[in-house]
Structure 1
Amino acid sequence: MKGASTGEGVKYNTMALRGSLRLRLLLGTLVWIAVSIIVAGWMLGGLFRQHVARQFHTELNTHLDQLAAHLAVDQAGQLSLPATPSDPRFSKPHSGMYWQVDRIGVMPGGAAGILRSRSLWDEVLKVPSDTLADGEIHQHRVPGPGKKMLGMVERVITLADAPDQSAKTFRLIVAADEHQMAEPIEHFDQMLWLALGLLGGGLALSAVIQVLIALLPLRRMQGALAAVRSGQTNRLEGQFPQEVRPLVEDFNSVLTQNAEVVERARTQAGNLAHALKTPLSVIANATSSRADDTAQLVSEQVAVARKQIDYHLSRSRLAASVRVPGARTSVVPVLDGLVRVMRRIHAERNLELIVRPHNELPDFRGEEQDLQEMLGNLLDNACKWAAKRVDVSLAVAADELLIMIDDDGRGIAEAEQQRVLNRGERADERVPGSGLGLAISVDLAHLYGGRVALAVSPLGGLRVVLALPKAA
């Protein structure tokens, strides 16, 4: 289970990275900054180490030249150094700067340390026994006083004026504690990485700010799309940069064309309904005066055809209308208008229609004609089945707008409630109607993402709950 959850987390992170332009830009920029900082630090550190090492050995070579310049042998064959190197550290014991002169050729391996700097005190530098040509310089790393590693340079010179020709070759050695080279490098590395860290942090912060500012128009576009979706406007509004403006203009053009297509579909649906209903009416009238089986069969089929035409034309119109973005409708004016119409239609029954007000009721996220279609069908059914009273109450739950219609009629048994929601089903054939009104309301509510539910009314009859999406 733990492995599965880990795999799902990696998959989610990968999907989030692929789906977020902000994350991809930030990750790419931050990775590039990190790589650049690391490479720059490594290169600058390497260059500084090379510079310090070169300076270190250059200083040793300078002292080596001073030794070679002042080295002399008197007539008695005694080696002398009238002037020592000027660096005072050669005179301080174990200071980290040392020089030494060895005679080569007197005995096997040579005599070590016949002349030494005061800083060596009573110790002698042990150097590798390699062979050098006259004047050639070698570099080594050797242990020194206190077992500290020393960087050493050596040179072999021959004194032409030495009286003893067998002992005129000398090895000159100058060495220094490598800590003198490592300390500035370590200090430089600390300052370098601190500076590069501050630079990287500043670059990362500027990259984040730049990405956020660069993507701000997309966030404004997201807000504009939300306004269209919630019905606050029917097109994208706002100031957008030149790179995004063609997309906004194309999207607005699509919205305009979509609205025109919906309007044209409604017009064609109405024209088709009139074109089909007229011949059906003629056929129905032609057979109404006849009482034979053929006339009855034709009348039944004409009624079936009318139901099918009414249902499918209404459904096609409704399916087109719910795809129009930016639509929103105030519920109370539509409901008040329908209640006035119902009072006139059912005036002979003296029904009491009551609308219970609701404060701060949000708008319906859809078109007014569709809301009229749904509420009109449900109110008409309630008035047909009511005995004396129909109540309409409004409520808000989460993201839904609830419209509850109660009547005091006979109601519908729970076992029959689902059946009457189907297309063409009627609870009582004695009550006039096609059985399509409730089904059309159910389909239209589903197209908008809502629902229609039936329950027992507190008035004793049927309660119809119409749940619709509310506008922002």
Structure 2
Amino acid sequence: LNSDARPASYSLRRRMLLTLLPVLAIALLLLGLSLANSYRTAAEASLFERLQLQQRLMLADVEISATGVRFPELASEPALNQPESGRFALVFDSRSQILWQSLSARASGVSWPQRLAPVLLRLNRIPQGELLTDSAAGFYLAAMRVAFALDAIETDAINPASSDALSTEVLQAGLLSDTYTLMILDDGALLAAQQKSYASSLWRWLGLTLALLATVQVLLMFWSFRPLAQLVDELRRVEQGSQQKFAASYPTEIAPLTENLNRFVEGERRQRERYKNSLADLAHSLKTPLAAMQAAIESKAGDAAMLEPVERMDAIIRYQLQRAQPLASHRMGVQRSDLALVAEPLLRTLQKVYHSKPVALDCQIPPALNVAMAEEELLELLGNVLDNAFKYCRGKVSLSASGQGAFCVVSIQDDGPGIPASRIPKVLARGGRLDQQQPGQGIGLAVAVAIVDARGGSLDIKPVLEGGARVLLRLPLATA
């Protein structure tokens, strides 16, 4: 039987992996971005502190006298005296003109007044003595506007003759010196290299952490799903009959399920036992009257045609009694039945049953076409399907069979009203009927489906364009 299409199967493990791994990856990505940002913030803060420290050292290097302020030729910070060090020192006067610059600034070739014009404008708007730290004009900088008190310096210690040799610019004595802008800058190249090295190391370790966490997650997942795998294994053994119930100890989350399954299995076992007993009782109660009928017909030398259906009924009852036996005593061995030898007597019987309806019968079954089924089983299967064909046909029934590979395909077609495709599943279900006017219980096709399923075959119902229905039985061929 071709059942309805099932939804695509999925794996809980795969689902959890597809859910958890992106979550882990996103969490580690956010952690990495946060750590990288924190490192950059801390590194910039540390750089600004170093710039401020160098600015203080620069202020300490300034020589103040009553006659003016002198800035040293060489700064005390070695980086300021090295070209291409990336660290620069500048002093601007109140007119934003360069008054003094370090050797590194002179060697850089940068037009500092133009490059730092926006910064100088900002400094002019803040109070004198307030420190400005910022990253502007492509540099990290620490800047401050200062003025020096000249009248507090003892003039006797000043040597004017040596003043020109020790300073680049000298202010005349007065109460306060001119306002100076002291600026220490860094191009950030070393900071960028440090950040790149840190980021590379950070992402490498985070990648290894993700791989480790994914591996641990997979191992934990397999460990967590072991009870489910054990449950599936026990369910298979219960289904095969090698185990009566679920006996293993399961976690508290699964234990209620196994308890309910045990109750369900026990209920199904009792129900099957009642069905078997009822079937055995029915078959046994019919067996004696049929035996008496058979003896009476034989003793009176009655019509052989009447004896044949009685013998068929007796065979069916014996078959049903055999099916009602416990599974342990009912071993289905290698069986074979000639399709033609079973179908032809059945067709003759059905023609007599439906003698009031003239049925044109077309039977095309090749000889010696053997199927791997018991004769009684094949008789019940064909009887249920052919009985429906005779019952609902208008006047024509055809039966044909052919071997196709390892299977025998049997086609039973009638010219009746047919079955809508949407109603086929209902017809194949136990108790399902479309025509309530005809006598019957609606279990014939369901029994036929159960028989072909048990043998690994299939039953399909196809509509016929000219009217009617075609039932296709796919039955395993008997091996030689």
Both proteins in one fold, TM over 0.5: yes
The separation in 2 between residues aligned to 1:239 and 1:422, in whole angstroms, is: 56
Kept in 2: contact 1:151–1:177 (CA 8 A): yes
Question: Does residue 102 of structure 1 match 2:108?
Answer: no
Describe how 1:267-286 pairs up with structure 2 within 5 A: 267-275=277-285
From 330, 335, 342, the equivalent of 1:369 is 330
Q: Secondary structure at the match of 2:100?
A: strand
Structure 1: which 5+ residue stretches go unaligned? 1-11, 144-148, 291-295, 328-366, 376-401, 406-410, 427-434, 453-463
Tell me the TM-score normalized by structure 2: 0.57
Q: Which residue of 2 aligns with 1:25?
A: 16
Question: Does residue 48 of structure 1 match 2:42?
Answer: no
Higher deviation after alignment, 170-179 or 234-243: 234-243
Q: Which residue of 2 aligns with 1:215?
A: 225
Q: Which residue of 1 aligns with 2:417?
A: none
From 201, 215, 219, the equivalent of 2:211 is 201
How many positions carry a matched residue from both structures? 338
From 131, 136, 141, the equivalent of 1:152 is 141
Q: Secondary structure at the match of 2:150?
A: coil
Aligned-pair identity in percent equals 20
Q: Which residue of 1 aligns with 2:52?
A: 61
The separation in 1 between residues aligned to 2:286 and 2:248, in whole angstroms, is: 46
Q: Which residue of 1 aligns with 2:129?
A: 135
Q: Which residue of 2 aligns with 1:125?
A: 112
The separation in 2 between residues aligned to 1:423 and 1:451, in whole angstroms, is: 26
Equivalent AA in structure 2 for residue 369 of structure 1: H
Kept in 2: contact 1:423–1:436 (CA 8 A): no
The separation in 2 between residues aligned to 1:421 and 1:23, in whole angstroms, is: 54
Equivalent AA in structure 2 for residue 153 of structure 1: A
Kept in 1: contact 2:322–2:330 (CA 8 A): no
CA spacing shift, 1:91–1:21, aligned 2, 3 Å: same
Kept in 2: contact 1:225–1:236 (CA 8 A): yes
Describe how 1:235-246 pairs up with structure 2 within 5 A: 235-246=245-256
The separation in 2 between residues aligned to 1:234 and 1:467, in whole angstroms, is: 33
Question: Does residue 71 of structure 1 match 2:62?
Answer: yes
Q: Secondary structure at the match of 1:121?
A: helix
The separation in 1 between residues aligned to 2:199 and 2:35, in whole angstroms, is: 9
Kept in 2: contact 1:314–1:440 (CA 8 A): no
Runs (4 or more) in structure 1 with deviation over 4 Å come to: 82-85, 140-143, 164-167, 274-290, 302-318, 416-426, 435-438, 441-445, 464-468
1:451 Cα shift? 5.9
Q: Secondary structure at the match of 2:41?
A: helix
The separation in 1 between residues aligned to 2:349 and 2:293, in whole angstroms, is: 22
Q: Which residue of 2 aligns with 1:439?
A: 379
From 234, 243, 258, the equivalent of 2:268 is 258
CA spacing shift, 1:306–1:271, aligned 2, 3 Å: farther
The separation in 1 between residues aligned to 2:232 and 2:181, in whole angstroms, is: 82
Q: Which residue of 1 aligns with 2:470?
A: none
The separation in 2 between residues aligned to 1:90 and 1:422, in whole angstroms, is: 114
TM-superposition CA deviations, 1:328-352 (whole Å, max 9, x none): xxxxxxxxxxxxxxxxxxxxxxxxx
1:176 Cα shift? 1.4
Q: Which residue of 1 aligns with 2:371?
A: none
Equivalent AA in structure 1 for residue 112 of structure 2: L
Q: Secondary structure at the match of 1:219?
A: helix
Tell me the TM-score normalized by structure 1: 0.58
Q: Secondary structure at the match of 2:92?
A: strand
The separation in 2 between residues aligned to 1:171 and 1:421, in whole angstroms, is: 117
1:92 Cα shift? 1.7
How large is the Cα RMSD of the aligned pairs?
Answer: 4.5
Equivalent AA in structure 1 for residue 196 of structure 2: E
1:189 Cα shift? 0.7
1:43 Cα shift? 0.6
From 166, 174, 191, the equivalent of 2:201 is 191
